[in-house]
């Protein structure tokens, strides 16, 4: 179990461009800010920035992502030149990138790199060989049947334990397999057709490929039936079931777990968290009941899908045709260099990350961000002390937790050493396998050891931020410490509305419906009085109802339960940022700038962070899987609950941006 709550759907690092914290040209002044503030703040930007053909969603997050990716490209292009003066790190990332970029060589090899792995799968004669094959694929990074790794013990946050979770499906979420609406039925049909085409690319006849695709889908359907739904998975108590290996074996006796753990070089397991035990029973039933040839087909398909980027172009194009065009509405596959940059960032994140930090992270930005964090933490303390719905007993514990929050800004300092990973300029498939095996071994080696609190769960170029409830810390990678989130040339109002709201958002996550269940030490423990827990839940239900009323696309609404944590953090975070801004101003009223008051600029700075638009396919996908609300709802849903906004823009009760009664937890 690993519960990270982030600012946005993870974006990891077009051409570099100038950014500003506030852009007057992004406004749509024909819109009424009290009718639709998002349109007022972002309408101009949306009109001037159509979705690029290689994107399904385009917003200011994505613009910064592309800016960071261009920086990474320049780093990798320089490192990929085979010069004797390169450092060890430059040689690692440069050779990995060079191998990935050689599409002609990849095409010439065909599926030869897959041969040994395919032969191993096809050599299975019975279920007794299954564990060995699954272990081999797991070491290579193929995601089959389940997810296994290390995690903090939710009830002893000082220790790392083994963690076994559901997985093994190719559609985004379990409910995709069961929804009966026409679009969902059609999507499943297209998915099966996609699986069949992948088998045809391997040389399977059309008729045989169709049968194999049906078999893969049947196995995935059974895995999905045994899986926990995405909303229930947000409850940490529903994904914590600590047991022994012996108890696991009784749940799934037909898979040799001891052999799997030995084959993945897992240290001796004293305690194991099985996120959802019914899933293991469902997996065991599949192993017993499924035809061995069908299991082979399932393993082959997932191996090919997971390695498609390092296979000939026709595999890449087919993979994109379903996952990019059909599922997300993206019109064109991203350029090879972009995909290779992302692969290096995913496989060697610390090697590339330290070069990115050298290029971009300034001490002034880190120092200023820390000052903002300090001010917003003080605002939260004042807010907690004044809360009228929380009793002194719970309030005392909340303050202890707040004062225990650690801050990580910019990047880590103890970088991972990849010298044991063999990287070759002419073996992209092998590079990926060896990097995956190294990372799996590194993570599993943590089992049974104390938690290393210096670790980060995002690489430095990532345009995101997150709160970790099990470590009780907030994390701001270097990638997000740039305009439009932080601009050292912008006034306080804009910076507090942008990066200040981000900081407040992450801090509030410690006290949302998930975070509030963990104490100051990161342990899953109930520290609330029954009275206060009920008061929280009643207030939180206001957000559930509010956001469930928003339409994502067509007949699909925002899921107010899935997005509750993020919506709570958005609302609380902006309120904290505003309180901190007022404290910084010290009673002074700065003159208007660009025709806007300080309060107006604060709210505009916040809103313009979320300027974005998406394809209909992406909207539908995100509404079902993403715990974040769409950008428009993140803006309008928050400001309509804030009297300070209504005063700043002279909104009146009865107008859409004046919600009455307002929703508020923090």
Q: Catalogue all structural domains in the chain, each as residue range(s) with its CATH number.
A: 27-50+366-413+454-648 (3.40.390.10), 111-310 (1.10.1380.10)
**pTM value?**
0.94
pLDDT at 504 over 70: yes
pLDDT at 644 over 50: yes
Between CA 71 and CA 53 the distance in angstroms is 21
pLDDT at 3 over 80: no
pLDDT at 411 over 50: yes
Q: Which residues lie below 8 Å from residue 347, measured CB to CB, with a gap of 6+?
A: 96, 431, 432, 435, 436, 439
pLDDT at 7 over 80: no
542-548: long-range contacts (C-beta < 8 A, 24 or more apart)?
A: 542/663, 542/664, 543/567, 543/568, 543/571, 543/663, 543/665, 546/637, 546/641, 546/659, 546/663, 547/629, 547/633, 547/637
pLDDT at 470 over 60: yes
Answer yes or no: are the C-beta atoms of 592 and 8 closer than 8 Å.
no
pLDDT at 213 over 50: yes
The H or E element that residue 59 is part of is strand 57-59
Count of beta carbons in the 10 Å neighbourhood of residue 605: 30
State mean pLDDT over 609-636: 98
Per-residue pLDDT tens over the stretch 131-182: 999 999 999 999 899 999 999 999 999 999 999 999 999 999 999 999 999 9
Answer yes or no: are the C-beta atoms of 466 and 4 closer than 8 Å.
yes
State mean pLDDT over 423-435: 97
Between CA 620 and CA 575 the distance in angstroms is 30
State residue 9's pLDDT score. Answer: 55
CA nearest 484: which of 604, 566, 639?
A: 604
| Per-residue confidence band for 364, with pLDDT thresholds at 50, 70 and 90 | confident
CA nearest 50: which of 337, 331, 464?
A: 331
| Per-residue confidence band for 1, with pLDDT thresholds at 50, 70 and 90 | low
State residue 666's pLDDT score. Answer: 95
pLDDT at 17 over 50: no
| Per-residue confidence band for 20, with pLDDT thresholds at 50, 70 and 90 | low
Catalytic residue among 275, 377, 570, 612: 570
Of 336-350, 410-424, 482-496, 547-561, the range with the lowest mean pLDDT is: 482-496
State residue 347's pLDDT score. Answer: 98
Most confident of 313-322, 453-462, 489-498: 313-322
Tell me the sheet residues that pair with 612. Answer: 59
| Per-residue confidence band for 14, with pLDDT thresholds at 50, 70 and 90 | very low
Catalytic residue among 433, 473, 506, 633: 506
CA dihedral 584, 585, 586, 591 (to 10 degrees): 170
Catalytic site includes residue 570: yes
State residue 2's pLDDT score. Answer: 63
CA nearest 491: which of 379, 638, 589?
A: 589
Between CA 211 and CA 199 the distance in angstroms is 10
């Amino acid at each position: 179990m690993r519960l990270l709550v982030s600012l946005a759907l993870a974006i990891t690092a077009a051409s570099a461009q100038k950014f500003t914290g506030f852009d007057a040209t992004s406004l749509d002044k024909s819109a009424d800010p009290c009718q639709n503030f998002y349109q007022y703040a972002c309408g101009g930007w949306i009109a001037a920035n159509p979705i690029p053909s290689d994107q399904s969603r385009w917003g200011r997050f994505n613009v910064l992502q592309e800016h960071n990716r261009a920086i990474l490209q320049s780093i990798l292009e320089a490192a990929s030149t085979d010069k004797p003066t390169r450092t060890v790190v430059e040689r690692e990332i440069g050779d990995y990138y060079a191998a990935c970029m050689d599409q002609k060589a990849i095409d010439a090899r065909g599926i030869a790199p897959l041969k040994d792995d395919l032969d191993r799968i096809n050599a299975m004669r019975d279920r007794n060989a299954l564990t060995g094959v699954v272990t081999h694929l797991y070491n290579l990074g193929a995601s089959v049947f389940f997810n296994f790794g290390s995690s903090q013990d939710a009830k002893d946050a000082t220790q790392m334990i083994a963690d076994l979770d559901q997985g093994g499906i190719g559609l985004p979420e379990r409910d995709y397999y069961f929804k009966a609406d026409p679009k969902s039925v059609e999507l499943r049909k297209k998915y099966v057709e996609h699986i069949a085409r992948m088998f045809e690319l391997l040389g399977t006849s059309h008729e045989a490929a169709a049968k194999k695709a049906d078999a893969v889908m049947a196995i995935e359907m059974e895995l999905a039936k045994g899986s926990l739904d995405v909303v229930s998975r947000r409850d940490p108590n529903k994904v914590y079931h600590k047991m022994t290996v012996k108890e696991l074996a009784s749940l799934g006796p037909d898979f040799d777990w001891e052999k799997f753990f030995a084959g993945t070089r897992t240290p001796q397991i004293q305690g194991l968290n099985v996120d959802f035990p019914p899933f293991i029973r469902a997996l065991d039933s599949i192993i017993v009941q499924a035809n061995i040839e069908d299991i082979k087909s399932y393993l082959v398909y997932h191996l090919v899908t997971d390695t498609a980027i390092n296979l000939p172009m026709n595999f890449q194009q087919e993979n994109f045709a379903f996952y990019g065009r059909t599922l997300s509405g993206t019109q064109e596959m991203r350029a090879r260099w972009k995909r290779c940059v992302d692969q290096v960032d995913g496989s060697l994140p610390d090697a590339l990350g330290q070069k990115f930090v050298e290029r971009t992270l300034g001490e002034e930005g880190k120092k200023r961000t820390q000052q903002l964090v300090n001010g917003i933490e003080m605002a939260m303390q004042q807010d907690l002390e004044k809360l009228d719905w929380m009793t002194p007993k719970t309030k005392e514990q909340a303050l202890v937790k707040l004062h225990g929050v650690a801050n990580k800004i910019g990047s880590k300092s103890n970088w991972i050493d990849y010298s044991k990973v063999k990287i070759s300029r002419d073996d992209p498939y092998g590079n990926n396998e060896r990097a995956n095996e190294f990372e799996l071994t590194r993570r599993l080696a943590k089992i049974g050891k104390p938690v290393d609190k210096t670790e980060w769960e995002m690489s430095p170029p990532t345009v995101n931020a997150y709160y970790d409830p099990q470590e009780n810390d907030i994390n701001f990678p270097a990638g997000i410490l740039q305009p439009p989130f932080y601009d050292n040339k912008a006034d306080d109002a804009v910076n507090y509305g942008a990066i200040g709201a981000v900081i407040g958002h992450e801090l509030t996550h410690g006290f949302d419906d998930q975070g509030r269940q963990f104490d100051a030490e990161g342990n899953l423990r109930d520290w609330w009085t029954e009275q206060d827990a009920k008061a929280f839940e009643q207030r939180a239900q206001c957000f559930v109802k509010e956001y469930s009323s928003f339409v994502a696309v067509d007949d699909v609404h925002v899921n107010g339960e899935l997005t509750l944590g993020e919506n709570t953090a958005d609302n609380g975070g902006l309120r904290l940022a505003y309180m901190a801004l007022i404290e910084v101003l010290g009673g002074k009223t700065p003159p208007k700038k660009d025709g806007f008051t300080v309060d107006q600029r604060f709210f505009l700075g916040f809103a313009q962070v979320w300027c974005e638009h998406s394809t209909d396919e992406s909207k539908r996908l995100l509404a079902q899987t993403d715990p974040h609300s769409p950008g428009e709802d993140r803006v309008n849903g928050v400001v309509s609950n804030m009297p300070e906004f209504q005063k700043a823009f002279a909104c009146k009760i009865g107008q859409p941006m004046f919600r009455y009664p307002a929703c508020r937890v923090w």
